[in-house]
């Protein structure tokens, strides 16, 4: 799956990061390299080894073990194996596990600003989100938000632009959202609730049955690669786009602060380098796998792929503006995050109009 050159490059990144002090959250922690061995547990919100989402933590663990020469090993647990999917945050915060992998918007009940670090409807795409986090002040805000919970977050992969989801009814107008019961977490759920739908949060492993038994009328999950793996085409007729709610869904690694600070400096740098590598690798994987999966859904399974009507998109955008304004008004940290992300988006969109967008238009025949 990974060639030797790729592994060598990552190893060099880790070595260079260690030599430069890493630039990470704990410049003073850890000291020099030692022979001491560390054994970590990582809990996740995904089924064990689930494509993309679930394999990313495994890739991280493999990288860390290889780069550290076995001095740091990480055992990965899927959702429910050690703790339930939505208890990952608390488990890492309390030290039950040293690490977790999930999505920040699952923790909005604890941190109002958390959903901004996963996805904002009509917001930053994957490329822009990485830019904001790593070079636009976003990561510093993220770590400030998680600090009271004894956690250090790292970007943990992106699925890219998602699909709007699977529906058992046609969406011809805004009126068709009335009474719709849909699995859609985060800010997207708050937005569709404004338009009369009922948003629910259900772990991924339970979605197929929930659709099959009509517990819900619709679900968003990720995109063709993951949706095919779950078999949603067997329990839903319509597959809508675009993914207005998650234009660049960012996942997260979270690390218990005390566990991280116990590591020597070189192992801290390896954790940071491996997280950064997996963050990019996941986006690469989804970019490569989604087109083939979509073709299979359409050509083999007869899935109807439909675009959401313009009036529905316009209504969702207007509701998004209301939701974001309300969250910013209610929480000072959320307002700072919102202001930072919005300012970054305005700057990057100005350039992307003559770069990314212009190139997309130009390459169409």
Q: Are residues 228 and 310 in the same domain?
A: yes
Q: Are residues 195 and 74 in the same domain?
A: no
Any domain includes 192? yes
Q: Are residues 184 and 126 in the same domain?
A: no
pLDDT along the chain (365 residues), means of 10: 43 44 45 80 96 96 98 97 97 98 96 97 98 98 98 98 96 97 96 97 92 96 96 96 96 98 98 98 98 98 97 98 97 98 97 97 94
- Using DSSP bridges, classify how beta strands 72-77 and 38-44 pair: parallel, antiparallel or unpaired: parallel
Any domain includes 144? yes
Q: Contact, 164 vs 246, CB < 8 A? A: no
- CA 222 to CA 100: how far, in whole Å? 20
**Residue 137: how many CA atoms within 13 Å on its side-chain side?**
10
pLDDT of res. 33: 58
Q: Are residues 100 and 186 in the same domain?
A: no
Q: Are residues 66 and 144 in the same domain?
A: yes
pLDDT of res. 11: 47
Angle subtended at Cα 143 by Cα 138 and Cα 144, rounded to the nearest 5 degrees: 95
Our CA dihedral for 28, 29, 32, 38, rounded to 10 degrees, sits at: -170
Per the structure, the complete domain to which residue 276 belongs is given by 4-160+248-287
Q: Are residues 104 and 196 in the same domain?
A: no
Q: Contact, 220 vs 163, CB < 8 A? A: yes
Q: Are residues 43 and 144 in the same domain?
A: yes
Q: Are residues 91 and 70 in the same domain?
A: yes
pLDDT of res. 339: 98
Our CA dihedral for 356, 357, 360, 361, rounded to 10 degrees, sits at: -150
Measured in whole angstroms, the distance separating CA 305 from the mean position of its chain's CA atoms is 24
Any domain includes 337? no
The secondary structure of the chain, three-state, reads CCCHHHHHHHHHHHHHHHHCCCCCCCCCCCCCCCCCCEEEEEEECCCCCCCCCCHHHHHHHHHHHHHHCCCEEEEEECCCCCCCHHHHHHHHHHCCCCEEEECHHHHCCCCCCHHHHCCCCCCCCHHHHHHHHHHCCHHHHHHHHHHHHCEEEEEEEECCCCCCEEECCCCCCHHHHCCCEEECCHHHHHHHHHCCCEEECCCHHHHHHHHHCCCCCEECCCCHHHHHHHCHHHCCCEEEECCCCCCCCEEEEEEEHHHHHHCCHHHHHHHHHHHHHHHHHHHHHHHHHHHHHHHHHHHCCCCEEEECCHHHHHHHHHHHHHHHHHHHHHCHHHHHHHHHHHHHHHHHHHHHCCCHHHHHHHHCC
Any domain includes 347? no
Any domain includes 168? yes
Q: Is the pTM of this model over 0.85?
A: yes
CATH number, domain containing residue 186: 3.40.190.10
pLDDT of res. 35: 85
- CA 286 to CA 307: how far, in whole Å? 21
Q: Are residues 180 and 41 in the same domain?
A: no
Number of domains in the chain: 2
Any domain includes 348? no
Q: Are residues 156 and 198 in the same domain?
A: no
Q: Are residues 35 and 52 in the same domain?
A: yes
**Residue from 107, 160, 152, 96 nearest 129 by CA:** 160
CATH number, domain containing residue 269: 3.40.190.170
- Extract the tokens encoding 111: 């941190």
- Extract the tokens encoding 233: 């085409």
* Domain closes at, from 257, 287, 317: 287
Q: Are residues 24 and 121 in the same domain?
A: yes
Any domain includes 254? yes
Any domain includes 334? no
């Amino acid at each position: 799956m990974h060639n030797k050159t790729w592994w060598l490059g990552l190893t060099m990144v880790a070595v260079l990061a260690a030599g430069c002090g890493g630039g990470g959250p704990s410049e003073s922690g850890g000291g020099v390299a030692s022979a001491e061995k560390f054994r970590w547990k990582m809990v996740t919100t995904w089924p064990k080894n689930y494509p993309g989402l679930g394999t990313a933590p495994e890739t991280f663990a493999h990288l860390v073990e290889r780069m550290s020469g076995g001095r740091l090993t990480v055992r990965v647990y899927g959702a429910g194996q050690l703790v339930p999917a939505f208890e990952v945050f608390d488990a890492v915060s309390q030290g039950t596990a040293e690490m977790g992998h999930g999505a920040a918007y699952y923790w909005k009940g604890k941190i109002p600003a958390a959903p901004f670090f996963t996805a904002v409807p009509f917001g930053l795409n994957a490329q822009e989100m990485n830019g904001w986090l790593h070079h636009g002040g976003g990561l510093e805000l993220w770590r400030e938000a998680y600090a009271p919970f004894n956690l250090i977050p790292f970007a943990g992969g992106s699925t890219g632009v998602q699909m709007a989801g699977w529906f058992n009814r046609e969406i011809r107008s805004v009126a068709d959202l009335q009474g719709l019961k849909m699995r859609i977490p985060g800010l997207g759920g708050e937005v569709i609730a404004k338009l009369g739908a009922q948003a629910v949060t259900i772990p991924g492993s339970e979605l197929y049955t929930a659709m099959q038994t009509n517990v819900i009328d619709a679900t968003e999950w990720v995109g063709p690669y993951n949706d095919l793996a779950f078999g949603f085409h067997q329990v839903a007729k319509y597959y809508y786009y675009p993914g207005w709610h998650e234009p660049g869904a960012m996942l997260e690694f979270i690390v218990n602060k005390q566990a991280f600070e116990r590591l020597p400096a070189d192992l801290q740098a390896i954790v940071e380098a491996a997280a950064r590598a997996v963050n990019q690798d996941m986006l690469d994987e989804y970019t490569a796998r989604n087109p083939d999966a979509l073709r299979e859904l359409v050509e083999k399974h007869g899935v109807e792929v439909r675009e959401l009507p313009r009036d529905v998109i316009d209504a969702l955008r207007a509701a998004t503006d209301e939701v974001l304004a309300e969250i910013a008004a209610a929480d000072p940290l959320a307002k700072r995050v919102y202001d930072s992300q919005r300012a970054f988006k305005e700057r990057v969109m100005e350039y992307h109009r003559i770069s990314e967008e212009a190139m997309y238009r130009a390459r169409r025949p």
